[in-house]
Amino acid sequence: MTSYTRLLSYVRPYTGRMVLALITLFLSTLLGLVMPLIVGSVVDVVFVQTSLDLLNRFTLVLLVIFLVRAVFSFINRYSIAFVGERVVADLRRQLYDHLISFSLRFYADHRTGEIVSRVTNDVTTLQAAVTENVIALLQQTLTLIGGVVFLFWLDWRLTSIILLGIPIVTLTMVYLGRKIRTAARNVQDRLAEATGVVDESFGGIRIVKSFAREEYESNRFGAKVEETFAAAMERAKISAVLAPLIGFLAFMSITVTIWFGGYEVIQGRLTPGGLVSYIIYTMLVAGPIAAFSGLYSQFQSALGATQRIFELLDTAPDIEDAPHAVPLPTIIGRVVFEDVSFEYDSSVPVLHNLSLTVEPGQVVALVGPSGAGKTTLVNLIPRFYDVTSGKITIDGTDLRDVTLNSLRGQIGIVPQESILFSDTVMQNIRYGRLDATDAEVEAAARAANAHEFITAMPNGYQTLVGERGVKLSGGQRQRISIARAILKDPRILILDEATSSLDSESEHLVQEALERLMRSRTTFVIAHRLSTITNADWVVVLDGGRIVEQGTHTDLLARQGLYYKLHAMQFRFVLES
């Protein structure tokens, strides 16, 4: 129960409402416990005293009890619901804030669909555990305790016989409850896998359509759904055994009550009204015992989800601010790699003893075969990953000695595949600087050669771009991405060029916007265009995670090394002998 105790700690900020809920719950339950005594008195009044006046009085008292109990019940349920929903909302926000703090390494190791499942499905599973189930558990517990007290007061002999069966019920609940928890966790795992398939197939819907793989994806998702169904039925089977079994044992006690209670009336130790009250109290006690089995299985299911959530919350981000980290002051843009090595895990080294100095405002083109380490190198600058050995400095300051926000706030990135959010054009550009005015956003769009096509849209800057910018062309998406970077106005720019999917006109507009963006900034370009490489101040050639050549375009061609071969192969340049 450690996980559930930890979950309940989220209730602490709402202690006031919780206390109000508990008080009204107690009063409501107490009124419910008084009701059988009055019913028993009515029976004695009708069959023993035959008094119409007393019958009317007791009936009126019952109506008042029911009315007051209904008011208390409303206050109790609303207060508990408020606390429960607030706890779920707080937990969901904390989980999201924690997940978004993780580095790229975490997201490389975990499927997006599984992460989404934790934030949605797992947290939703907890809602009943901290709302309706809490109400039911507290009410049933109070009813059980109060009912047992009244049962002893009415006839201790009969009550002692009934209570002998409680240990059997308890042991059965504990044994089957553990099995339910394991089965519930398995259901959540299978559901997360199914969510992962949905995320992958819909996220890559263009690929699915282009390869005509709708049936394949449908079968793949269907298989995961069937696995989820099988796991859910395993959980249902255990629950289906638990509830009827506990119910059978509980209502067996009622049978014993009727027989032994009748015997007590015959012996003169109990009145007929007392027997009716006793039977009602027995049902009140049997109800919670039977309900506990269902509640217990639901709590066990919630615990499975709780453990998965707290596993994530207890996972520390592998990249975070050092205790002594300070904000990075406004930089000039001198970047130095000092004997840097990096590996994604201990068995896969990617960069080896790499040293490089880039002066402020210098444009450095990174070239090399696929897998040479170009993307990994630039990912180290904003600390998406940390170096394994060596260090990277900006203006002489080690990246690990400054806060992440102050570092990344001065670095702009234009990725090869521009990612836009499902929002308006205006908000996508403003993402570069959230406090930017509309005029500043428009100025950035003009500088990125995006203003004309934006204003030609039906709603202009308020046009919704669709998920991932699906309503825009590749060139339009890239120009909005460039506008976002221009608005941010970073001192260091990281650019992964993309040209293969653009037509000639779009490529010209994008190239012009990029040249404007790179002006007076320290720029790292994973270069694909010949014009970018020839215009770069310095060209760095990587192969196998090492810098094998560096220099100007002309110097590297003259050496006739790897760059010369790449140049001839990739750009089909007619070389002069």
DSSP secondary structure, 253-273, as one string: HHHHHHHHHHHHHHTTSS-HH
Q: Which tokens is 239 given?
A: 């629950």
**How far is residue 329's CA from residue 498's CA, in Å, rounded to a whole number?**
32
**The dihedral formed by the CA atoms of 131, 99, 118 and 216, expressed in degrees to the nearest 10:** 150
Q: Which tokens is 481 given?
A: 């991405």
Element housing 391 (H / E): strand 389-394
Phi-psi region of 103 (alpha: psi -120 to 50; beta: other; left: phi over 0): beta
Angle at the Cα of 408 (from 407 to 410), degrees rounded to 5? 75
**How far is residue 436's CA from residue 200's CA, in Å, rounded to a whole number?**
34
Q: Quick check: 217 and 205 in contact, CB under 8 A?
A: no
Per-residue pLDDT at 574:
39
Q: Dihedral sign, CA of 265, 270, 274, 275?
A: negative
Q: In order of start, what are the domains of the chain with their CATH numbers?
A: 2-313 (1.20.1560.10)
Q: How far is CA 174 from CA 6, 165, 299, in A?
A: 20, 15, 12
If you search the block for the tokens 């050496």, which residue do you land on? 559
pLDDT in tens, 109-119: 777 777 877 78
Question: Phi, psi (5° rounding) for residue 275?
Answer: -65, -40
**How far is residue 12's CA from residue 5's CA, in Å, rounded to a whole number?**
11
Provide the edge-to-edge strand list for the sheet that holds 411-414.
411-414, 492-496, 522-526, 363-367, 538-543, 546-551
Point out the residues of the chain with pLDDT beneath 50. Answer: 499-500, 573-577
Q: Which residues contact 92 (CB under 8 A, 6 or more apart)?
A: 119, 123
Per-residue pLDDT at 500:
47
CA nearest 348: which of 321, 373, 374, 381? Answer: 373
**How far is residue 195's CA from residue 93's CA, in Å, rounded to a whole number?**
20
Q: How far is CA 348 from CA 337, 342, 355, 368, 544, in A?
A: 20, 9, 20, 19, 12
Per-residue pLDDT at 299:
74
Q: Which tokens is 160 given?
A: 């002692």
Q: How far is CA 211 from CA 219, 286, 406, 417, 471, in A?
A: 15, 60, 44, 21, 21
pLDDT in tens, 95-147: 888 888 888 888 777 777 778 777 877 887 777 666 667 777 888 888 888 88
Per-residue pLDDT at 11:
82
Per-residue pLDDT at 572:
55
Per-residue pLDDT at 205:
67
pLDDT in tens, 333-384: 999 999 999 988 766 788 999 999 999 999 999 998 888 889 899 999 999 8
CA nearest 476: which of 447, 450, 437, 495? Answer: 450
pLDDT in tens, 379-396: 999 998 899 999 999 999
> Number of helices (H) and strands (E), helices first, in the chain?
22, 10
Per-residue pLDDT at 498:
55
Q: Where are the beta strands (DSSP E) in 193-301?
A: none
At position 217, the amino acid (one-letter code) is E
**How far is residue 368's CA from residue 570's CA, in Å, rounded to a whole number?**
10
Q: Dihedral sign, CA of 264, 266, 271, 275?
A: positive
**How far is residue 276's CA from residue 483's CA, in Å, rounded to a whole number?**
80
Which ranges of 9-129 does DSSP label H, i.e. alpha helix? 15-44, 52-100, 104-109, 112-117, 123-129
CA nearest 189: which of 125, 145, 265, 275? Answer: 125
Q: Which residues contact 316 (CB under 8 A, 6 or more apart)?
A: none
Q: Which tokens is 21 given?
A: 């809920």
Q: Which residues contact 203 (CB under 8 A, 6 or more apart)?
A: 112
